[in-house]
Amino acid sequence: MPLELRGLRESDVIIQKIQSVNGAVTVAVDTTLDIGTLLTTADGGVTWTIRQEADWVAGSYAVDDVFYHLGHIWKSLAATNVTEPGTDPAKWEDQGFWNANGVLVEGLDLTGNANVLTAGYVVESNLTGFEEALRHQLFDRNIILK
């Protein structure tokens, strides 16, 4: 069966699992999280979530619109804001780095407990939500990209 029909298996994403935790992963209604989805935890791995903010795309944004761009969460400070986040501090407030610190090791379509990789080796091209701006942070978390 072709890869696009069968979905990813753990072996397609996780090369070596050095450390993982079993934590509660929040899954939005009518959403499926695939193996390799980047997650974040603020409580040491008890609960995990995905990034909620939409990706920024060129366009016009209102005051208080919030988007993800190049590893950071940005809040618009101007009406009809057409500048790229990070290029003009008078128009965008940096809300901080999106703190990706785990990789989902199993697929989920409902909120529940799941295995999350916190240290190990993964196939970079099979991660969901990964971009180059997150590389250094994942290395700092002992998730090595291959």
**Nearest Cα residue to 9 out of 81, 76, 105, 86:** 105
Task: Report the chain's mean pLDDT, rounded to a whole number.
Answer: 92
Distance of CA 58 to the CA centre of its chain: 21
Tell me the C-alpha distance between 133 and 98, whole Å.
10
Query: Where are the alpha helices (H) located in 9-134, listed in sequence order?
Result: 10-13
List, for residues 36-51, the tens digit of each pLDDT value. Answer: 999 999 999 999 999 9
Range 64-72 average pLDDT: 95
Rounded mean pLDDT of 81-102?
95
Domains of the chain: 3-51+100-145 (2.40.300.10), 52-97 (2.10.10.20)
pLDDT of residue 119: 96
Predicted structure pTM score: 0.85
Confidence of residue 137 (pLDDT cuts 50, 70, 90): confident
Does the structure show a pLDDT above 80 at 6?
A: no
Above 70 in pLDDT, residue 59?
yes
